[in-house]
Structure 1
Amino acid sequence: MRSSPLAERTVVITGAARGLGASMAHEVARRGARVALLGHEKAALDEVAASLPGPALALEVDITDPAALTAAAQTVRTGLGRPSAVVANAGIAEGGMFLASDPAAWRRVIDVNLTGSAQTARAFLPDLLETAGFFLQVASLASIGAAPLMSAYCASKAGVEAFAHSLRAEVAHRGVGVGVAYPSWTDTDMIRAADRYAVLRELRAHMPPPARRVYSVDTIAARLVRGLERRRTAVYAPAWLRLAQPVRAALPAVVLRVSRHELPRLEATEPVPCTGPLGAGGSADRAASGPRP
């Protein structure tokens, strides 16, 4: 792993307290990187940092707070050196019918996933310009094909994809690479929490067989880090997901057909719930950000 281009480089990962972010931290550390872990839950971040084989820094920060991100970026520079790679991974989700959703909670998903990713880029882009570095935006299968009952999440992930494409065009001539990661269903606490709701679980079950499978977090993290090493403009995890790109224009009609058939049946079985924050990461964000206005 010491032959990795990440060796002796500083890598920043947001949303690193658990799940995909924590697993990616282990992957880059095994390749010899110095790792800065950003997110909520200082104790969990410290635990991840202590488990890594090399230098690591755990910083509790809300990525929707520009001043806090600016301060975190300075701390990373001082403690580990200028970052050569930044992974905008932090994200939250809530499920339920759009009309029944809480407007403030819906907006918070957009703020964290989209605006927070952009503010992460804003805080660390000066470093990436100095190091000719790489910014990896973690998007989602939801960026390619939106699903019902997850309107804020799907909107935010489509937004970060567009943001990354725009940013790439702005900074390519200055030596900075920008990539978009498209992970499929991953075995994180967010997905496990969603599967506790029958309507969300059943809608996923009606996706085509490859698209409904849940992959281990370590498998997805390893593939994303390989893309990070190679400065890929697009990283599909698993690899077959790239086949969805040429047919993405047809996906809304497919989703519509399934939803028209399945949602009435599921609604007749039980009410469609508003889930609230999905998983421990969503709960941590709600606790840290305080009451919704």
Structure 2
Amino acid sequence: MGATNLLARTTSVHGKVILITGAARGFGAGLARRFAAQGAKVALVGIEPDEMAKVAAECGPDAAVFEADVTDWAALETATKGIVERFGGIDIVVANAGIAATGFVRSIDPRAFERTIEVDLLGVWRTVRVTLPHVIERKGYVLVVSSLAAITHAPGMAAYAASKAGVEAFTNSLRAEVRHLGVKVGVAHPTWISTDLVQGADEHPVFGPLRSAMPGVLGKTYPVEVALDALEKGILRRDRTVHVPGWVGALKLIRAFLPPIIEIGARLRGNLVAKADKAALEDIARRGAEAASRPVGKGGQADAASR
């Protein structure tokens, strides 16, 4: 019975037009390859045209690259228009583009903090707003990629956690707004996945050691394929939530208790936050606030370079 229900919920993407932001690497590139193999027409949107061209080449003739920064209204509108002209419409939107700048609120470079929110939250809003009329026309599906950080608000991640929590709230409101129009909306909460972003975070001289000290599953890093399997399944089923892995969903049930647990845990582990706070100030004194707070990973580097 369970298998029958699962099959009944699964929707083929053959011939469907799927717009994916942040498609140069990681989740975006992986999903593009998977859905292209299933006969979908994939539109890769992002700020790294050369990298996206490599992905598109692997996806075949029904893949196209559209350069656009998700914080740029005009660029998004131009890209969306180009996608509709090329493929005839948009069935599915995967709002995946995101960056992460680590740092403590009192010392992080303000521009890095605000850029994280601009890309990760306002970029999602702009992507959805521009593409939504086309998704409504086809009674399609929108998946927004949030994070475990929306549920567990760790020190050194205020900008990222605020953005991803905002993304979750945005998605919940959107879902209720468009249901009567035949559009389904989902939100994904991946934990630490071995993408360029997480690898870059682990290389940070302050945040890397802080993350490595996270206890149990909260600090565990999972292979990219684990996330791609869950995201692919969620999109095919048009799920309202995608938890990567499943235990992330269980944390939602106790999220009210998580902030004090995180605070107590930090104190019990040798006042870890105080040590990291001091190390952050020393790192800034040595490298400067801009370098110390720069978004991590290749995607973050590309975003910094584009500006």
**Please, which moves more after superposition, 204-213 or 156-165?**
204-213
Paired residue for 1:192? 199
Q: How do 1:236-275 residues align onto structure 2 when only pairs under 5 Å count? A: 236-260=243-267, 261-267=271-277, 271=282, 274-275=292-293
Equivalent-residue separation in structure 2 for 1:251 and 1:171 (angstroms): 31
Equivalent-residue separation in structure 1 for 2:181 and 2:11 (angstroms): 23
Equivalent-residue separation in structure 2 for 1:216 and 1:189 (angstroms): 12
Equivalent-residue separation in structure 1 for 2:277 and 2:137 (angstroms): 54
* Contact 1:148 1:259 survives alignment (8 Å): no
Q: How do 1:4-83 residues align onto structure 2 when only pairs under 5 Å count? A: 5-53=12-60, 55-83=62-90
TM superposition score normalised by structure 2: 0.89
1:236-260 superposed Cα distances (whole Å, 9 cap, x missing partner) = 0112211111111111011112333
Paired residue for 1:146? 153
**1:169 partner letter:** A
CA shift at 1:15, angstroms? 0.2
1:278 equivalent in alignment to 2:296: yes
TM superposition score normalised by structure 1: 0.93
1:156-208 superposed Cα distances (whole Å, 9 cap, x missing partner) = 00010000001111100110011000011011111111111343233323333
| Paired residue secondary structure (1:147) | coil
**1:107 partner letter:** E
Equivalent-residue separation in structure 2 for 1:210 and 1:32 (angstroms): 36
CA shift at 1:30, angstroms? 2.0
**1:105 partner letter:** A
* Contact 1:88 1:136 survives alignment (8 Å): yes
Equivalent-residue separation in structure 1 for 2:20 and 2:108 (angstroms): 30
Gaps of 5+ in 2: 1-9, 285-291
| Paired residue secondary structure (2:15) | coil
Equivalent-residue separation in structure 2 for 1:218 and 1:22 (angstroms): 12
Gaps of 5+ in 1: none
Structure 1 residues 272 and 256, CA gap change in structure 2 (3 angstroms):
farther
CA shift at 1:131, angstroms? 0.6
Equivalent-residue separation in structure 1 for 2:24 and 2:15 (angstroms): 22
Report how many residues are paired. Answer: 287
CA shift at 1:266, angstroms? 4.1
Equivalent-residue separation in structure 2 for 1:226 and 1:10 (angstroms): 17
Paired residue for 1:211? 218
Paired residue for 1:116? 123
1:178 equivalent in alignment to 2:185: yes
**Please, which moves more after superposition, 268-277 or 78-87?**
268-277
1:32-70 superposed Cα distances (whole Å, 9 cap, x missing partner) = 211000001111011100011451011110111111111
1:110-165 superposed Cα distances (whole Å, 9 cap, x missing partner) = 11110010100011101111110000000000011111111111110001000000
Structure 1 residues 131 and 109, CA gap change in structure 2 (3 angstroms):
same
Equivalent-residue separation in structure 1 for 2:25 and 2:71 (angstroms): 19
Superposition CA RMSD, Å: 1.7
